[in-house]
Chains A and B, each alone.
Chain A
Amino acid sequence: MPGQLPHADVEHVLRVADTDPKAARRAERQIAGMFLLSILLVIGFVAAYVGIDKSTVVYIPLFGDVGAQTIALGITFGGAILLIGGGAIQWAKKLMPDVEVVQMRHEQVSPQEATTEAAGHYERGKEESGFARYKMIRRTMIGAMALFPIPLVIMLRDLWSGPASQEFTPAEILSTTIWRKGERIVTDATYLPVRPEDLPVGGLVSAVPASLEEVQHLAGNQNARGKAAIILVRMEPNEIVSQQGDGWDYQGILAYSKICTHVGCPIALYEQRTHHLLCPCHQSTFDLADSGAVVFGPAARNMPQLPIGVDSEGYLIAMDDFAQPVGPSFWERSS
């Protein structure tokens, strides 16, 4: 028959449905049953959507307490779609013809005349265009095409530009935070100012500058928090081995940046007994009793320290901005 592929020369094994008509009818009923079950599951889906309350909780062994509607919707819809596919596959496997056929393929290699002709075209083209002969044309053309991407690179490099009123480069923005001398330290999330006596030895406070709320509100973003977040820890003054500046602590209270110097994850995992600060992202560990030195992990630089003191009302304040940019390295950074 035209269009029919020739049979393969292999031993054909008959299926049970091919020989036994009762088996064939059984297979037909099974496949129809799968489609019918899919229909029932769709009805079940609608019933579950309409009938089960969203907040119903049901206990299923092994699963625990789960949402009843979610489970019902998942099982009905998933089952319905699976059974349509499964029914179609069973139909093909059990009842549709499964004769082995041969499909001819041409050889991959081109015939010799075609190869020779193609080679001839190429050679003639090379000869007639004079590509090999005109050295000056060839070299200047290659030069022009090679230098062509340079404007694109220059334009990409220049893509960043801040608002017209702001003259800072990205490096300058990354190098400063909103911490200033006299800026009060407040707790993160609750914005309460901190007194030295509030913090016991072994205590930890996540803190931000007092002006952060307003800065964020005006800027409409959290970029300032991303650089200014700090942690305050307290240890006995004699436990402090070294600091990044003379007298940058206040009676054993130290302020360090919260931003990891590796890739910039905020770190608040502080072990009070060992004074180690552990970053959860790549496990860089900083020893806050020893100038925030890296004792483990991929960070290359110490955690920057913020010098602190108290103001006239007895609240903790910053004495200056950080002495180095916080967070991960960037191209223009001096270290």
Chain B
Amino acid sequence: MKFLAARRRNPLVAIGLLLFALIAVGGGYAAIANVQPAQAAVDSQSKIEEGNRLYLANCSSCHGMDAQGTANGPTLIGVGAAAVNFQVSTGRMPLAAPGAQATAKESPYTDEQVAAMAAYVASLAPGPAIPTAEDLDFSNADVAQGGVLFRTNCAQCHQAAGQGGALTQGKFAPNLMAATPQEIWEAMATGPQSMPIFSTATVPVKDKQAIIAYINSLQNAYSPGGLDLGRIGPVTEGLFLWTAVFAALIGAAVWIGIKAR
């Protein structure tokens, strides 16, 4: 103590004090602040191993032991976690039966299993990532602009009201009325099956949010005039006319002409 007190007026004391203060404040902040690791951080090794095990058991017969692809299934290297999440959580994969295209069904996996498989495939090569909650937040999106974008990019396959449409030779673009924002995002980013890929460069995050907001408004839309007859327009409306309405008109004509009792 006498040693330090004797040198308290030394000019080096100021530098020493400054260093001490910086270290104290910086270290204190680091200790109490809950700093997240970088988003691109690799998932925990155990999750990837779990995903690998699930992959080998369920997917490798068609997609290859190292996900390199076989005659029965394309390579999964580079498809990204988003593709796995979309295909497996909607039940399209594992493929139930060969046919024109894989159809959505009840997924046999839990969310953790899907996440593990996605982590495994993502670890093979960089690819589209699963969207974050911030990505999927469409509360501030411009719904009208979403409508413009939907009609430019989506309506030709999925129909103007998102009811789905036919492609060639048995393939189809599905109905969007039950699609969650995450599924919509992942489908746009990964281009499943016949669907083209709408990357972040050509359809930026804001535009994707607008499209999701528009589809959401379609899902919540009520039908002001009554029966919407499937919202696909003239075909169902014409059928209704030619059957029910004509039957009613003929019935009315018969009633008018027939002799009363």
Q: Is A179 interfacial (CB-CB < 8 Å)? A: no
Please tell me if the beta carbons of B201 and A195 are within 8 angstroms of each other in the complex. Answer: yes
Please tell me if the beta carbons of B202 and A70 are within 8 angstroms of each other in the complex. Answer: no
B159, closest chain A residue (CB): A280
Q: Is B223 interfacial (CB-CB < 8 Å)? A: yes
Please tell me if the beta carbons of A269 and B227 are within 8 angstroms of each other in the complex. Answer: no
**How many chain B residues have a CB neighbour from A under 8 Å?**
34
A267, closest chain B residue (CB): B156
Please tell me if the beta carbons of A270 and B152 are within 8 angstroms of each other in the complex. Answer: no
Residues of A within 8 A of B167 (CB): 269, 271, 278
**How many chain A residues have a CB neighbour from B under 8 Å?**
50
Please tell me if the beta carbons of A65 and B260 are within 8 angstroms of each other in the complex. Answer: no
Residues of A within 8 A of B193 (CB): 273
Residues of B within 8 A of A71 (CB): 226
Q: Is B247 interfacial (CB-CB < 8 Å)? A: no
- B190 to A: closest C-beta gap in Å: 9
Please tell me if the beta carbons of A64 and B224 are within 8 angstroms of each other in the complex. Answer: no
Q: Is A204 interfacial (CB-CB < 8 Å)? A: yes
B206, closest chain A residue (CB): A190
- A24 to B: closest C-beta gap in Å: 12
A184-234 contacts to B, CB under 8 A, are 187-190, 192, 194-195, 197-206, 233
Residues of A within 8 A of B156 (CB): 267-269, 280
B190-243 contacts to A, CB under 8 A, are 191, 193-199, 201-202, 204, 207, 222-228
A interface majority secondary structure: mixed
Q: Is B72 interfacial (CB-CB < 8 Å)? A: no
- A22 to B: closest C-beta gap in Å: 15
Q: Is A16 interfacial (CB-CB < 8 Å)? A: yes
Q: Is A335 interfacial (CB-CB < 8 Å)? A: no
Q: Is B256 interfacial (CB-CB < 8 Å)? A: yes
- A234 to B: closest C-beta gap in Å: 9
Q: Is A44 interfacial (CB-CB < 8 Å)? A: no
Question: Using an 8 Å CB-CB cutoff, how does the interface string of A272-314 with B read, 1 for contact, 0 for none?
Answer: 1110101010010100000000001000000000000000000
Contact of B168 among A93, A98, A274 (CB under 8 A): A274
CA gap between A190 and B151 in the complex, in Å:
12
Please tell me if the beta carbons of A203 and B224 are within 8 angstroms of each other in the complex. Answer: no
Contact of B196 among A93, A94, A197, A233 (CB under 8 A): A233
- A55 to B: closest C-beta gap in Å: 9
Please tell me if the beta carbons of A202 and B197 are within 8 angstroms of each other in the complex. Answer: yes
**Contact A204 B152, CB 8 Å, known A195-B201, A198-B202, A271-B171:** no
Residues of A within 8 A of B2 (CB): none
**Contact A16 B261, CB 8 Å, known A268-B156, A272-B194:** yes
Residues of B within 8 A of A285 (CB): 168
Q: Is B148 interfacial (CB-CB < 8 Å)? A: yes
Please tell me if the beta carbons of B168 and A276 are within 8 angstroms of each other in the complex. Answer: yes
CA gap between A16 and B168 in the complex, in Å:
64
- B17 to A: closest C-beta gap in Å: 52
CA gap between A267 and B196 in the complex, in Å:
14
Contact of B197 among A204, A206, A268 (CB under 8 A): A204
Please tell me if the beta carbons of B260 and A197 are within 8 angstroms of each other in the complex. Answer: no
Residues of A within 8 A of B261 (CB): 15-16
Please tell me if the beta carbons of A270 and B196 are within 8 angstroms of each other in the complex. Answer: yes
Please tell me if the beta carbons of B201 and A197 are within 8 angstroms of each other in the complex. Answer: yes
Please tell me if the beta carbons of A206 and B153 are within 8 angstroms of each other in the complex. Answer: yes
Please tell me if the beta carbons of B199 and A199 are within 8 angstroms of each other in the complex. Answer: yes
Residues of A within 8 A of B95 (CB): none
- B102 to A: closest C-beta gap in Å: 12
Q: Which of B149, B157, B196, B204 has the most CB of A within 10 A?
A: B196
B258, closest chain A residue (CB): A93
Contact of A296 among B168, B194, B201 (CB under 8 A): B168
- B254 to A: closest C-beta gap in Å: 12
Q: Is A137 interfacial (CB-CB < 8 Å)? A: no
Contact of A63 among B153, B157, B227 (CB under 8 A): B227
Q: Is A57 interfacial (CB-CB < 8 Å)? A: yes
Q: Is B259 interfacial (CB-CB < 8 Å)? A: yes
Contact of B226 among A15, A16, A66 (CB under 8 A): A66
Residues of B within 8 A of A198 (CB): 199, 201-202
Q: Across chains A and B, which 7 residue pairs bring their CB atoms closest together, nearest first? A: A198-B201, A204-B196, A67-B224, A65-B222, A93-B260, A271-B194, A268-B156
CB<8 Å pairs between A and B, sample of 17: A17-B260, A57-B222, A63-B223, A63-B227, A64-B222, A64-B223, A65-B222, A70-B226, A74-B225, A98-B260, A192-B202, A200-B197, A203-B202, A233-B196, A270-B196, A272-B191, A274-B194
Contacts A190-B207, A270-B196 known; list 19 others, CB within 8 Å: A16-B261, A63-B223, A64-B227, A71-B226, A74-B225, A93-B260, A98-B259, A188-B152, A189-B148, A198-B202, A199-B199, A199-B201, A200-B199, A203-B198, A268-B153, A269-B156, A269-B157, A274-B168, A283-B168
Interface residues of chain A, those whose CB is within 8 Å of chain B, are: 13, 15-17, 57, 62-67, 70-71, 74, 89, 93-94, 98, 187-190, 192, 194-195, 197-206, 233, 267-274, 276, 278, 280, 283, 285, 296
